[in-house]
Amino acid sequence: MANTSQSKKRARQSEKRFDVNKARRSRIRTFLRKVEEALAAGNSDAAKEALRAAQPELARGVTKGVLHKNTAARKMSRLSARLKTLAN
């Protein structure tokens, strides 16, 4: 348990950060799920639109420290590659 006032404050801040980051991660996963569902359905146009909407969310996750830069890049790359194979 936190003893000093500073450590108590840091614990409170940590809880707030956790909640905010949890919401951000959830939002990113929702956007990614929409892309996955469109790809699974074979709907190229819907997948393209969903990917276009998901890319800024992934980038925002990186700038906010929720995702690592390479993780977001890998996800975007793999989804783009799957979309490309679906279009052909």
What are the tens digits of pLDDT across the range 62-71?
999 999 999 9
* pLDDT tens-place string over residues 4-55: 999 999 999 999 999 999 999 999 999 999 999 999 999 999 999 999 999 9
Which residue bears the tokens 């975007």?
76
Number of domains in the chain: 1
Instruction: Give CA separation, 76 vs 21, 52, 73, 82, in Å.
Output: 20, 10, 5, 10
Per the structure, the complete domain to which residue 32 belongs is given by: 5-87
pTM listed for this prediction: 0.87
Contact (CB, 8 A) for 35 and 51: yes
CATH of the domain at 15: 1.20.58.110
